[in-house]
A = this chain, B = another copy of it.
Amino acid sequence: MAKQQPLILVTNDDGIFAPGIRTLVEEMMAFGRVLVVAPDKPQSAMGHAITIHSFLRLQSVHLIDGVEAWSCSGTPVDCVKLAIYKLLGGNKPDLLVSGVNHGANISINVLYSGTMSAAVEGAMEGIPSIGFSLMEHAIEADFSHVRPVVRSVVQDTLKHGMTSGICLNVNVPKNTGLPLKGIRICRQAKANWEDEFETRFDPGNKEYYWLKGEFRSSDHGEDTDVWAVENQYVSIVPTQYDMTAHHSIATLNTWDHALG
């Protein structure tokens, strides 16, 4: 008897009709049965947001022949929850892949990223989960060199399984024509956003603001995701949802903690 095919849930944050998710769906079809649930509009930088003050909709859409696909009115994390608790009746897929994001999700951007938040939600549900991102924002970005990366990481994940409590954050350098040097397991680089707001005036002369930020990494460690992608490597950061700073517990225990 043939082994049952794995069920693979695919989502993203750029919206269900973005080229990045199409790439991912096409590659996943070789690995198993594919279910797509992705936002009906761009949901970049939505982080781990979920919809609790409003309701959600699902709409069946045609993406690729033979693939069940639904667009969702909510966030990437909403998509994961709806897939599991509405469409699959509480059953968990064997694998969750998110992306391929149009744009990098290295370093602290893991916190802002809808792509990665969907993968983190998958990990919280005990599903082996991977977020893929390409270091290029353009809608017409070239994903051809990302395909072997996706195949390699998915193959390894299905073979080895995923440690409980973690998911993978995979970032792939932009295609410059040069071959990728390989895959590096990394830590999340220390970095920050130097933000700025551009002030504009509406026709009624009332101010409004657009966020413009510049990403700055001052972390020169060669074990970081920033270093890897700048040096033509694919970065993989094992990412956990336990945000406890265990190393700080001892220090905090020396505080007064007086409840006067």
Contacts and interface: CB of A to CB of B under 8 A. Distances in A.
A176 interface: no
Contact of A259 (B57, B117, B180, B249): B180
Contacts of A55: 200, 208-210
B78 A185 contact: no
A12 interface: no
A97 interface: no
Nearest to A198: B55
Contact of A49 (B49, B159, B236): B49
A67 interface: no
A148 interface: yes
Interface stretch (A1-9, A21-29, A160-168): A160-168
Chain A: interface residue count, which band? Answer: 35 or more
Contacts of A135: none
B260 A52 contact: no
A217 interface: no
B244 A195 contact: no
Contacts of A51: 45, 211
Interface string A36-50: 000000101111111
15 contacts: A45-B50, A47-B47, A47-B48, A55-B200, A56-B210, A85-B195, A85-B196, A110-B243, A111-B117, A148-B260, A155-B256, A159-B256, A185-B252, A188-B243, A190-B242
Interface of A: 42, 44-53, 55-58, 75, 77-78, 81-82, 84-86, 108, 110-112, 117, 120, 124-126, 148-149, 151-152, 155-156, 159-160, 163, 165-166, 168, 180, 182-183, 185, 187-188, 190, 192-193, 195-197, 199-200, 206-211, 234, 236-246, 248-249, 251-253, 255-260
Given A55-B208, A190-B242, A240-B244, 5 more contacts: A82-B197, A108-B241, A152-B257, A182-B257, A239-B244
